[in-house]
A = this chain, B = another copy of it.
Amino acid sequence: MKFKIIWPGKTKDKEIKAIQEKYLKKINRLVPCTLIECKEAKGIKDRFAKRIKKIEKNHIEKHIEDDYIICLFDKGKQMNSKEFAEFLERIVKSPTPNLTFIIGGSEGLEEGFIEKADFILSLSPMTFSHELARIMLLEQVYRALTIMKGMKYAK
């Protein structure tokens, strides 16, 4: 089992980046997990959100393999942390044990791209900044792994 996380553009906020690296290290102690910060659409005004999302979709697709794909989307399916851990456990025990999480940039993911995912996950019905959403995802993945492995995790 291997995890991969893809998002467009490097994290700019230095504190969020530090937290991101901290969680990636913790996750990698439990499961091999690669972060791919693929190319982002640059120099396009955000009123052209549709164009930005299309460009970023193309960049993301270059890094997609035949894994189980989970797209993050605020209107996706919700679960609590225990259910999320059980859900991940079912995937890692399945014939496609490799998992790819995809999280959008500042404009989010393209709707058509989201629909093609194996699973659409919502961390919250609320909209968070895309960089904050990154560490929310990493924290949940780490938490799920500790639940799966029956470890104690500092709250």
Contacts and interface: CB of A to CB of B under 8 A. Distances in A.
Contacts of A123: 124, 126
A74 B78 CA distance: 12
Interface stretch (A62-70, A88-96, A134-142): A134-142
Contacts of A78: 124-125
What is the oligomeric copy number? 2
Interface string A18-32: 110010000000000
Interface residues of A, number: 31
A130 interface: yes
Given A78-B125, A130-B155, A136-B136, 15 more contacts: A15-B16, A74-B80, A78-B124, A79-B125, A80-B125, A80-B126, A123-B124, A124-B124, A124-B136, A126-B140, A126-B143, A128-B139, A129-B139, A132-B136, A132-B139
Interface of A: 13, 15-16, 18-19, 22, 46, 74, 78-81, 84, 106-107, 123-130, 132, 135-136, 139-140, 143, 154-155
